[in-house]
Amino acid sequence: MIISELLEPLDLATLGIDLEKGWQTAAGTQEPLTRVLLIGGALADYRRLGRMLSGMEAHNYHLLWCEQYDDNSLGEINSGHYDAILLDCQHQPDKAMRLLTQLVEIGCQQPIVSLTDNSASVVAQRAMRNGSTDYLGMDTTDRYVLERCLGYAIEKNATDKKISQLNLYDPLTGIANRLMFQRNMARAIELAKTQQISLALLLINLDDFKRINQSFGTGAGDRLVTMMAQRLARCVRQSDAVARIGGDEFALVLEDSQTNEDIALVAQKVIDVLSAPCTLNGQAVIVSCSIGVATYPDSGDSVDGLIKYANMAMLEAKRQRGSQCCFYHEETSKAAVRRMNMEKDMRLALRRNEFELFYQPRVEIASGDAAGMEALIRWRHPVHGLVSPDEFIPMAEETGLIVPIGYWVLQQACKDMLILDQSGHQNLEVAVNLSFKQLQDDMFVDTATRIIQKSGIDASRLEFELTETAIMSNYQQACDGMMALSKLGVTFSLDDFGTGFSSFAHIQQLPISALKVDRSFIENVVKSNDDGIIVKAMINLAHSLRLHVVAEGAETLEQVQFLWQNHCDQIQGFYFSEAVTVNQFIELMDRRATATM
């Protein structure tokens, strides 16, 4: 292929252009503003066009000529060296059309103006159909028409580029959007197929993003997402490997990924980078993320399949506790199907009366008698049998079903208190677990008050157990609700104490009368010196704040002795009893009464 430059008068010899040797440009010419490449045509056309363009006063053009329609040089034509291409279609229209099609196929970045004999020619229409930006009938072309046509083509091309940029990039963060990501993924999968290599898709979802938006406002939420996108982009070598595919969701494609260990290392790096502290509205915030991974070819071989599986794995990571990475495997899929069905069934469970309330005694260490009990819900599923609350409560929280279920628990606990009273075991206290979602229900205080008052039980026999996390998820709302209910006489305890991050300054302001030391500390209280020291410290701390201490999950005599020696007030655990039905509870109490008579 030969590229020539026109200087008037054209003198090939003085320019040193060797028509056989290929690409050339004249050295030393001043860099012009607009570089136009003519492809095909005869020397006479080249000269004529060159003269027209060099006579332009307002604009500096530089015309180069490539005589052959040479498809070996597509890359060079598309290299970005030229601002516009004039494709001669007068002399060899078929060759010109073939080249045009090829240029369009490789995504040519330059505007292409096809030169035809006249404006009405069939070739002009073919050129437009095949992707030409515009065409020019040479019979009527003068320098003004030529300049107007080139100017229009260059401008239209720039606008088109901007529009496709908008369609493929996320306007907030500037990184690739979902559409671009899907295209890149499809290309990456094709490449992996032909090269027989694997690739990994990481779906990255920010944890608790909704809460950030609620607490700091959506403007701050947007700033956070932008910050996270920038951090992610810095983690990867290739800028388009990372995309924003949802409000707080990013995707990262690792091409030619090696082992699962390598992928896990990248995921860990992402978690570390994203969870570095950032400042929102002047406040330091730490945002973690959950990552789901699906790999080609192990997890699937289509874009949609990999997204679906990576999403399942991401939800699994969230369910576990967030801030971690899960790989998709078949079990994830089975568990997801079971969960989906469970969720469907749970919606009917209340109406079908499938929930049951069990009770576990809280034993007063000093007397050895049950002072009360904790109400623990069970679901008797028609197919799966007794389902653990650890499985269905998180699901009920996600779906909001915990709100009506919670009311049922409260109502049932009040009813069972009356049954206990009638059986002769009066004045027992009952503790009911409250989920953070229940506290966020605006009707909670009113509805709970109505249920308690309607039941006729003394409200001071009722305690609500709340975790630190539940209180801190919306401190003000929790505080207001607790204050209102405590006026009725209801008390509160801090559940799973030691596992949350609440500050004592906050806790002290709340109407809390007991701490429940989490089972994980009691488990090793005898075996581990550290846990022993921690539990002693917790008991002392609680007493100095005039709070009762309840130890959860005591299973052995040694644990009970340790707690007794260290002045814990109450113990709840398998050592005394598991959670049982109200009738079994009455039997337990009866037996104890007979034994101590």
Site residues (vs ligand C2E, CB under 6 A):
360, 375-377, 388-390, 393, 409, 433, 435, 465, 495-496, 519, 552-555, 572-574, 579
CB closer to Ca ion out of 310 and 507: 507
Whole-number Cα distances in Å, 138 to 41, 42, 82, 352: 11, 13, 22, 83
Taking the mean position of all CA atoms in its chain, how far away is CA 274?
A: 12
Interacting partner of 579 out of ligand C2E, Ca ion, none (Cβ under 5 to 8 A depending on kind): ligand C2E
Cβ-based neighbours of 500, under 8 Å, separated by 6 or more: 467, 468, 469, 472
Q: Minimum CB separation from Ca ion for residue 492, in Å?
A: 12
Q: Minimum CB separation from ligand C2E for residue 359, in Å?
A: 10
CB closer to Ca ion out of 463 and 495: 495
Interacting partner of 248 out of ligand C2E, Ca ion, none (Cβ under 5 to 8 A depending on kind): none
CB closer to Ca ion out of 323 and 499: 499
Site size with Ca ion, rule: CB under 5 A: 5
Q: Minimum CB separation from ligand C2E for residue 395, in Å?
A: 12
CB closer to Ca ion out of 205 and 433: 433
Token duo for residue 580: 């049982």
Report how far residue 61's alpha carbon sits from residue 58's, in angstroms, rounded to the nearest whole number: 10
User: Which SS3 state, helix, strand or coil, does residue 34 take?
Assistant: strand
User: Which residues 458-477 are close enough to bind Ca ion by CB under 5 A?
Assistant: 465
CB closer to Ca ion out of 463 and 496: 496
Amino acid at the residue 8: E
Q: What string marks each residue from 517 to 556 as x (binds Ca ion by CB under 5 A) or -? A: -----------------------------------x----
Q: Which residues pair with 381 in a beta bridge?
A: 385
Report how far residue 347's alpha carbon sits from residue 343's, in angstroms, rounded to the nearest whole number: 7
CB closer to Ca ion out of 175 and 514: 514
Q: Is the peptide bond before 9 cis (omega within 30 degrees of 0)?
A: yes
Question: Residue 496 interacts with Ca ion (CB under 5 A)?
Answer: yes
Q: Parallel, antiparallel, or unpaired for β 84-88 and 112-116? A: parallel
Taking CB under 5 A as the criterion, the residue among 173, 177, 433, 455 binding Ca ion is: 433
Task: Reduce the secondary structure of 326-360 to three states and give it as a string.
Answer: EECCHHHHHHHHHHHHHHHHHHHHCCCCCEEEEEE
Q: Is the torsion defined by CA of 18, 22, 27, 33 positive or negative?
A: positive
Q: Minimum CB separation from ligand C2E for residue 265, in Å?
A: 34
| Residue among 406, 407, 392, 251 nearest 314 (CA) | 251
Interacting partner of 435 out of Ca ion, ligand C2E, none (Cβ under 5 to 8 A depending on kind): ligand C2E
CB closer to Ca ion out of 310 and 538: 538
Q: Minimum CB separation from ligand C2E for residue 517, in Å?
A: 11
Q: Footprint of Ca ion on this chain (CB under 5 A)?
A: 433, 465, 495-496, 552
